[in-house]
């Protein structure tokens, strides 16, 4: 893992284990979402909320969570991973490529092809490639990684 992500390994590995997700996948998400910057903040002009922290969790994703809490790296990784786990299991039927697209752009955005040049499936493919480069994602079904 690159240094800007390696520094968060102590948070990523136990959290990923808790939700039974490859830690290299969570590390790749952190890389693509924030570059490893816990103070990352992105105002989303198309959304009613902003993206915050390492995993760029949108502030409306958890009604009982504040933006201040989301800037805490441990909290952000825990909730971002939990959110991804819920999307993976409840919305994407266990398909990581679809879950990553949904995490990035929302289910409606993916279905309506409104994810922009780098969102949705392009984001998912980039994350999966990074995950493989980090030595992970080897147990994912091959069709998920190759499907375009």
Q: Please provide residue 17's backbone torsions phi and psi, each rounded to the nearest 5 degrees.
A: -60, -40
33 catalytic? Reply is yes
Beta bridge partners, 42, equal 51
Q: Which of 6, 33, 48, 145 is catalytic?
A: 33
53 near 76, Cβ under 8 Å?
yes
| Cβ partners under 8 Å of residue 11, min gap 6 | 73, 74, 77, 78
From residue 135, alpha-carbon distances to 23, 64, 69, 90, 138 in Å are: 10, 35, 31, 27, 8
57 near 30, Cβ under 8 Å?
no
Residues involved in catalysis: 33
């Amino acid at each position: 893992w690159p240094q800007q992500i390696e520094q968060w390994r102590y948070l990523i590995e136990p959290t990923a284990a808790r939700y039974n997700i490859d830690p290299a996948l969570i590390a790749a998400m952190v890389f693509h979402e924030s570059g490893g910057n816990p103070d990352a903040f992105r105002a989303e002009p198309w959304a009613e909320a902003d993206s915050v922290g390492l995993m760029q969790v949108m502030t409306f994703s958890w009604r009982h969570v504040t933006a201040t809490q989301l800037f805490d790296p441990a909290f952000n990784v825990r909730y971002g991973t939990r959110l991804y786990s819920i999307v993976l299991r409840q919305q994407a039927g266990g398909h990581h490529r679809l879950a990553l697209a949904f995490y990035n752009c929302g289910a409606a955005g993916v279905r309506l092809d409104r994810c922009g040049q780098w969102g949705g499936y392009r984001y998912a493919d980039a994350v999966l490639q990074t995950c493989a480069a980090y030595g992970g994602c080897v147990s994912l079904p091959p069709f998920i990684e190759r499907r375009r």
